[in-house]
Amino acid sequence: MQSGNAALQEPASIRENFSRILSDYHPSAPLSSGGEQPHYGSAGGGGGGGGPLGVLPPSHSSGSDAAAGLTSGAFMGNFYADHPDVQQGVPWDEPPLDVMEDEEQQKMRRKKKSNMVKVFPFFFSFSCLIIFLTPIWTVVNLSADTNVVYWIGDWCKAVVVLPAFFVGAFSIQAQMKRPHKLTILITMLLPAGILLVTGDALASLASDRADQLRSTDCDTFKQKRDLQHAWEAAQKLYTKCLVDTVHSNNITMKQAKTVFRIEDCSEYKGGLAMHPSQWGYLKHLEDEYQCSGWCHVAQPVFTKKDVRDSCSVVVGAVFRAKIKRAALQVVSYDLFILMVVSIGNIMAARIFAAWALNGELHPGSV
């Protein structure tokens, strides 16, 4: 009788030990050397103890676990309890979904920044053109002013070649297919420096001319004195022409001065050949600013409009109120550009360095 009880207890102890072995089973280990599932006997087969071992095969199915008397997921043992970061139902050789999403977002950001790098050459050159268009146009407009041309010269119109720097920057960076730090700095700093020097020179010369021309002293400098002599020659020819006209047409001098101007005189072409630039400039002043005489107010020679001041005083006021003011605006504008470029250079260096560190931009790009 005791031997029979021992025989009944032996399969129970075997089943208990086998269940413990299954609880420590690691899924990554192969189930068999041939890759096939092991054979399991039935739960109640064989009767009292002579049949096969009654252990149910492990299964992820809740029904099979319940049939075997095990809790759901007992086949995995304590693996999920020891590894809470692993998602059930996800293959072990694949990363979690959140990691895959982060990688996709990083790829999208890299692609977006790569497109920005490709369009950078055109965007940079076009932006430079827009930024420098105002000071360039201001200087060119000043160079076309008749007063600037006569008293200073038209040398400042050379700034029209500055857009060539922007075209060159576009060509270089388009060929390199990436931003180039040296090209960027030259394209921004060199035009700004040229415009700054040009504007400062115009402002200084305009200030000097304003002080010299507003003085009633005609001997301030040679160019002013020569223009006074040219005006005196024009007045002399005009007076002689009026006298001849009065005698030949039987009209009064007052009527002649009202009707005729120096351009109506037959001797005008000969005098203009001797003073082409001076007489042309004096005619422009009388027509444009309604002034007459050069150092002192006098009878108008070229215009029939009412006059108020001497042309020398008027031109001095133009230099101070218009030309000097516009030149100082160019100086201020370019100083602001230089400040922005300096700050932008520091910020851009950090951005490009971050891109290069993340592998989004070649380290030698900037």
- DSSP per residue over 161-179, as a string? GTHHHHHHHHHHHHHHTS-
* pLDDT category of residue 151 using cuts at 50, 70 and 90: very high
The pLDDT score that the predictor gives to residue 173 is 87
pLDDT per residue as tens digits for the range 305-327: 888 899 999 999 999 999 999 99
Averaged pLDDT for residues 190-206: 95
Contacts of 312 (CB under 8 A, 6+ apart): 213, 214, 216, 218, 224, 294, 295
Q: What sign for the dihedral angle of Cα 321, 322, 324, 325? A: positive
For residue 337, the SS3 value is: helix
- Mean pLDDT computed over every residue of the chain: 78
- Residue 282: closest CA among 262, 255, 306: 262
Q: To which residue do tokens 């388009």 refer?
A: 174
User: Cα separation of 306 and 179, whole Å?
Assistant: 61
Residue 68 pLDDT greater than 70, yes or no: no
Whole-number pLDDT of residue 31: 47
Q: Say if residue 41's pLDDT is above 50.
A: no
Task: State how far the alpha carbon of 89 is from the alpha carbons of 59, 92, 135, 195, in Å.
Answer: 14, 9, 68, 69
Query: Would you state the pLDDT for residue 343?
Result: 86
Q: What is the pLDDT of residues 244-280, one digit of tens each?
A: 989 888 888 888 888 899 999 999 999 999 999 999 9
What letters, b where the CB count within 10 A reaches 16 and e where it falls short, cover 322-360?
ebbebbbebbebbeebeeebeeeeeeeeeebeebeeeeb
Is the overall model pTM greater than 0.85, yes or no?
Answer: no
Q: Which pLDDT score, from 0 to 100, does residue 111 have?
A: 57
The Cα–Cα gap between 139 and 327 comes to: 7
Cα–Cα distances (Å) from 173 to 133, 162, 166, 199, 231, in that order, read 21, 18, 11, 30, 57
Percent of the chain with pLDDT over 70: 63
pLDDT for the residue 13: 65
Residue 52 has pLDDT above 50, yes or no: no
